[in-house]
Amino acid sequence: MFLISIMTMVILLISSFLMIISSILCKKVITDREKSSPFECGFDPKGSARLPFSLRFFLIAVIFLIFDVEITLLLPLPYIIKFTNITTWLFTGVYFFMILLIGLYHEWNQGALEWAT
């Protein structure tokens, strides 16, 4: 047990030493204005390329992805009716559909689906 703890400490010491040495050696201190500026086909940009991202657009995209995944889960329901019991199939379909509708109602009620306020 003592040998394992010593080996672990040696390995941690060597890896820490290598990480410190590599971080010291690979630092680039030369900052070039041209390399840090945005590139637009070789010309100087007309405006700021660092425009703020619309949070409303991001939220609508996330909502779309969530509902898209749920619809993807509903798509195999017509196919599996042959392999399952009708009550299980009906319960699963209604359950997923209710989750989808409750989520849509909640997002609509919160105003997340409004493009302009």
Q: What is the pLDDT of residues 1-47, one digit of tens each?
A: 889 999 999 999 999 999 999 888 886 666 666 666 666 666 666 66
Name the pTM for this structure: 0.48
Rounded to an integer, what distance in angstroms lies between the CA atom of residue 67 and that of residue 23?
Answer: 44
Residues whose CB falls within 8 Å of the CB of residue 60, separated by 6 or more in sequence, listed in order? 112, 113, 115
Domain ranges of the chain: 2-36, 55-110
Q: What is the pLDDT of residues 99-111, one digit of tens each?
A: 888 988 988 898 8
Question: Contact 103/67 with Cβ under 8 angstroms?
Answer: yes
